[in-house]
A and B are shown apart, each in its own frame.
Chain A
Amino acid sequence: MSALPTGPRAPELSKTPADPAPPRAAGPPRRRRTGPSRPAVLAAQLGLAVVLVAGWELGARTGVVDPFFFSSPAAVAGRIGKWLGGGEVYGHLLTTLSEAALALVIGGVLGLGIGFLLARARTLAAVLDPYIKVLNALPRVVLAPIFLLWFGLGIWSKVAFGVTLVFFIVFFNTYQGVREVDRVLVDNARMLGAKESQLIRHVLLPSAMSWIFSSLHTSVGFAIVGAVVGEYLGASEGMGYLIAQAEGTFDTTGVFAGMVVLSAVVVVIDLLVNRVERRLLRWQPARERGHA
């Protein structure tokens, strides 16, 4: 945990022109707390990606991996290019994202609301506790076919499925966040004249914020998982549908292309969440930020 500036060997990985590095990088990053230098990590990450993709491509070309089962990066890239160029993928993407967004909003609002309610109403929480545990223990995937039956093949069955995933994450984190709020902060606010609604707004919500945000990352992921799995099981559009279609015709290239597009979108969304989080949590000392 040294607060020293960059160690003598740190620039090795980054190969900046100003600092011609020796040819070989040695060992994993050594500093944990202060963290290794950003460019070095970025370079290593890029390098790893290049190695993996090149290896895959090379394997496919030389026949070490069977392109029928594993496709190849070039083919996948070509397919993505075609999708983006032809515009057919946008509709599917839009469907999936709207389902995920709806699931996120509905599940989030429900989780937040009920989390707050139960954290403040101890008796109610005690009564409902076993039910919540049972519901949460239920493997959610088994619900997907039932939702299909209840809500039809359209977007709402996927939204409902996503909601069951998102709700519990947001709910548990909100509940925890509100329960663990510093007692003295609440007392102080009450002494300064805070009513219950003001207490929520000025003390409980901000205090629960870091919990809620750490859950937001997971929630976004789960909302998309919910949408895709739902589509996969029965739909007429969406990325899950696209992937299922490709699988149906043993089109591994299509499957991989779908996965890549989805991952890229999730990464972009996660970056946006990070941004929002940094804005809203700027009062936290940098070290505490982004726990969990």
Chain B
Amino acid sequence: MGDGDDGAAMELRGVTMTYQGAEGDYTAVREVDLAVAPGRFVSVVGPTGCGKSTVLNAVAGLREPSAGQVLIGGEPLQGLNRRAGYMFQQDALLPWKTVVQNVAFGLELSGVDKAERLERAREWVHRVGLAGFENAYPHQLSGGMRKRTAVAQTWIGDPDILLMDEPFGALDVQTRQVMENELLSLWTDSGKTVLFVTHDLEEAVSLSDEVVLLSAGPGSRIVGRYPVELPRPRDLLDIRTTPRFTELYGAIWADLRNEVMRTYERASHGTAGAGAVQDAG
């Protein structure tokens, strides 16, 4: 798998995404080309507001490109991407459903009968380490527990493609490492293609087969692609101390830093407050 460019699981061809606003149009990303081979784990990094979520929305089919094309398994995407699971940047659990009901939601929508879907959902709840919280409502959970629920909700439907938008961005360092490990073990041997957005470069390098760098907006493009040839299976703790990791990290960070600085300069030249830029490291 993964040999030959034509067999891409997903591909963006000259994708431009423009938002129409009251004060004029805003082109978030311009002419983005990106092909991801099946089974690959690809991370997208870039300064805040550069259009990472926008790219994921295009692949998900939630927002149509203003120009260009999204191809899924070689076919042009029309409407929603039925082969993709999407873990949103924001909390997207239904507040009126319990953990197990939220996890079972996708199965419920596709008409799996109640006993079966609840059983399968309970299995997933176990797998993401939430046993005992099956009947809790989202507002009774911690942020990390909500993210686990979201992982289970997305994975239970067994999508070929996984779109994950800063899934662990809001978590503390320890929880994040636990979740990253779990994500890797879920993904390993699953054959799933992952497009993973993060603002944590360390996370991007340690998880991915390739890191893609988006430039500062507006009209962001892909300005760097960095294959990560670290051996798998990886131990996420050990890998960060290897020389190869440090080298890669340094190379990408130098470029990312440039883009972050450009975003920052633009923000402070404009009327927008200088605080608009988050820490991108």
Contact = CB atoms under 8 A, between A and B. Distances in A.
Interface of A: 184-185, 187-195, 198, 202-203, 206-207, 209, 283-285
B88 A283 contact: no
Contacts of B92: 184-185, 187-188
Query: For the side of the interface on B, what is the size category?
Result: 20 to 34
A187 B81 CA distance: 12
A191 B105 contact: no
Nearest to A194: B109
B62 interface: yes
9 contacts: A187-B88, A189-B94, A190-B80, A191-B86, A192-B157, A193-B109, A195-B109, A283-B95, A283-B96
Interface string B41-69: 00000000000000000001010000000
Given A184-B92, A191-B85, 9 more contacts: A187-B86, A191-B62, A192-B106, A193-B82, A193-B106, A193-B109, A198-B109, A203-B94, A283-B97
B62 A283 contact: no
Contacts of A192: 85, 105-106, 109, 153, 157
B84 interface: yes
A246 to B, nearest CB: 47
Nearest to A283: B96
Contacts of B187: none
Interface of B is mostly: loop
Interface of B: 60, 62, 80-82, 84-86, 88, 90-92, 94-98, 105-106, 108-110, 137, 139, 153, 157
Given A192-B153, A192-B157, A194-B109, A283 B137 contact: yes
Closest 5 pairs between A and B when the two form their complex, measured CB to CB: A188-B92, A192-B106, A283-B96, A191-B86, A206-B96
Contacts of A185: 92, 94
Contacts of B84: 191
Nearest to A187: B62
Contacts of A193: 82, 106, 109-110, 157
Contacts of B95: 283-284
Nearest to B60: A191
Which among A185, A192, A194, A283 has the greatest number of chain B C-beta atoms within 10 A?
A192
Nearest to A188: B92
Given A193-B157, A283-B97, A202 B80 contact: no
B141 to A, nearest CB: 12
Contacts of A194: 109
A198 B107 CA distance: 12
Contacts of A188: 86, 88, 92
Contacts of B153: 192
